[in-house]
Amino acid sequence: MNSSEGGRNRPWCDVAVRDTYNSAVRKTRAMLFAHTLADLAGVPHNGHALGVWWVKTHGLQHDDPYSSKWIAYFEGSLPRDALLQQMLGEFPVLRQVLCDPLWLALSGLSADRSFWDRCAAALRMDGKPLPDFTNLAMARLCSSPSWTKIGPLLILMRSEARSLVGQRAWLKKNFSLYFYLACLRSPLWHIRYQLLDLISALLDCELLVDGELRAWERKYKNLNHTLNVYQDILECMFEYEWVHAWNDEAFLLLWEALEDMELVNALLNSKTRMVMPDRLRMQWSRAKKTILTARVSLPWTAIGLSRDVAKGDLRIMRRVGVKA
């Protein structure tokens, strides 16, 4: 995909390419819905397992767990409306999957930079506008790596507001690592290739930061190698009882530990049990109190969607859960 001339955030010149890209965004959204439901059900991430669980738990004598529809959910199709509404009613967290800012952040729109500046200005942390740039503010914004923070981070990178120069520079250096750590967790693990391709396409179209993100891997093989390294570090932490579960606190510790590669290398190569350094323990303890509590949101009403937004863009946004 090629961006149009004249800088970032200009309309994509090839409408067919943009339509194909937006279709991939919608399929990825539906895939995340299916994988999140599989997590909630505690079943393997495939259509047969999900279908068997649904029929068994809902007593549907005439529903076929072997139906191809269950497979299709993991390939990018959403359930039909009646079943979808039933699933949303039983598992309200699925509504967040469908309405998360990630899908807006990934969308290929004809909107110019002013739209993305408004989106960035509308972001809220703990109900308040984002604070001015500091390393601590960015640490709170990112907190423990999670897929639910990726959308707001992409929106910041799609904006060109002068007030966000510091945030964009920080993300240019740190977003790749954040994304990789988030991909270690389900359900994002199951759509890591799709997200990698979508974000790479935005980079190719010069719709994110100027230039390339530091340490961004475009090949699946390289991505998996990187994820395997981080997974090995987590497993060492678990083995040495630094953490006791793969939860938000564990991923926050990994995020903090990766600032000290000497420590990480020692951890990976240690032949005996390592004790967590006091400095890292104190840093982690402070971070758990100040960082994990941060909540980031994007109120649709704060964007001003009725202002200077093309009908075609509104249609694209509605299809990915934006209440336009």
27-31, 89-93, 120-124, 142-146: which range is least confident on average?
142-146
Q: Rg of the chain over CA atoms, in angstroms?
A: 21
Pairwise pLDDT comparison (307 vs 4), residue with the higher score: 307
Q: Which residues contact 39 (CB under 8 A, 6 or more apart)?
A: 186, 187
Report the pLDDT value the prediction gives residue 170, as an integer from 0 to 100: 96
Report the pLDDT value the prediction gives residue 107, as an integer from 0 to 100: 95
Q: pLDDT category, 5, cuts 50, 70, 90?
A: very low
Report the pLDDT value the prediction gives residue 3, as an integer from 0 to 100: 36
- Token pair recorded at residue 312: 């075609």
149-153, 166-170, 310-314: which range is least confident on average?
310-314
Q: How far apart are CA 168 and CA 275, in angstroms?
A: 36
Q: How far apart are CA 226 and CA 9, in angstroms?
A: 30
- pLDDT tens-digit series, residues 237-286: 999 999 999 899 999 999 999 999 999 999 999 988 999 999 999 999 98
Report the pLDDT value the prediction gives residue 63, as an integer from 0 to 100: 64
Pairwise pLDDT comparison (291 vs 316), residue with the higher score: 316
Average pLDDT (185-191) is 96
Report the pLDDT value the prediction gives residue 6, as an integer from 0 to 100: 39
As a three-state string, the secondary structure of the chain is: CCCCCCCCCCCCCCHHHHHHHHHHHHHHHHHHHHHHHHHHHCCCCCHHHHHHHHHHHHCCCCCCCCCHHHHHHCCCCCCCHHHHHHHHHHCCHHHHHHHCHHHHHHCCCCCCHHHHHHHHHHCEECCEECCCCCHHHHHHHHCCCCHHHHHHHHHHHHCCCHHHHHHHHHHHHHHHHHHHHHHCCCCHHHHHHHHHHHHHHHHHCCCCCCCCCCCCCCCHHHHHHHHHHHHHHHHHHHHCCCCCCCCHHHHHHHHHHCCCHHHHHHHHHCCCCCCCCHHHHHHHHHHHHHCCCCCEECCHHHCCCCCCCCHHHHHHHHCCCCCC
Residue 142 has pLDDT above 90, yes or no: no
Q: pLDDT category, 65, cuts 50, 70, 90?
A: low
Residue 11 has pLDDT above 60, yes or no: no
Q: What percent of the chain has pLDDT over 90?
A: 70
Q: pLDDT category, 12, cuts 50, 70, 90?
A: low
Q: Which amino acid is at 54?
A: W
- pLDDT tens-digit series, residues 200-240: 999 998 888 878 899 999 999 999 999 999 999 999 999 99
Neighbours of 319 (CB within 10 A): 15
Q: How far apart are CA 298 and CA 125, in angstroms?
A: 9
